[in-house]
């Protein structure tokens, strides 16, 4: 399996796996941002995970912007949208997939 195919599979998993419990939460609670934030920071362990993901998201966005600009990659903004609307679980494999495709296309010229 080529790396880009692995990254594409990870994109699918990174979208589906986090969204399953989130959609269930939405079905049970409706759109309640304050309850969502309250439950995200309900205890020290959940706060640890939230802050870990937030730091990872910032690092990923910086890396994707810098590396994407360095390689003149197209559609870099998709990584930002994927992180904002899903999370690092989609944003990171999406960027790696896009980067791998870009590098493959460049080497075939």
pLDDT at residue 106, as a whole number:
79
70-89 pLDDT, tens digit per residue, is 999 999 999 999 999 999 99
pLDDT at residue 45, as a whole number:
97
Strands (E), the chain: none
In whole angstroms, what is the distance from residue 27 CA to residue 85 CA? 18
pTM for this entry: 0.90
pLDDT at residue 107, as a whole number:
64
Is residue 58 within 8 A of residue 79, CB to CB? The reply is no
pLDDT at residue 10, as a whole number:
97
Q: Show the low-confidence residues of the chain (pLDDT under 50).
A: none
Which residues, 6+ apart, have CB-to-CB distance to 29 below 8 Å? 35, 36
C-alpha torsion sign, points 63, 69, 70, 73: positive
Q: Which domain range does residue 43 map to? A: 3-107
Number of domains in the chain: 1
34-43 pLDDT, tens digit per residue, is 999 999 999 9
Which residues, 6+ apart, have CB-to-CB distance to 107 below 8 Å? none
DSSP class of residue 22? H
pLDDT at residue 108, as a whole number:
60
Phi, psi at residue 31, to the nearest 5°?
-85, 100
């Amino acid at each position: 399996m080529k790396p880009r195919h692995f990254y594409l599979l990870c994109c699918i998993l990174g979208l589906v796996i986090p969204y399953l419990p989130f959609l269930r939460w939405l079905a049970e609670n409706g759109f309640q941002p304050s309850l969502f934030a309250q439950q995200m920071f309900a205890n020290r362990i959940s706060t640890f995970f939230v802050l870990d993901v937030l730091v990872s998201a910032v690092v990923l966005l910086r890396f994707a912007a810098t590396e994407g600009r360095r390689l003149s990659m197209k559609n870099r903004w998709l990584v930002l949208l994927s992180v904002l609307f899903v999370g690092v679980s989609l944003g990171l494999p999406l960027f790696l997939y896009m980067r791998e495709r870009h590098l493959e296309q460049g080497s075939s010229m």
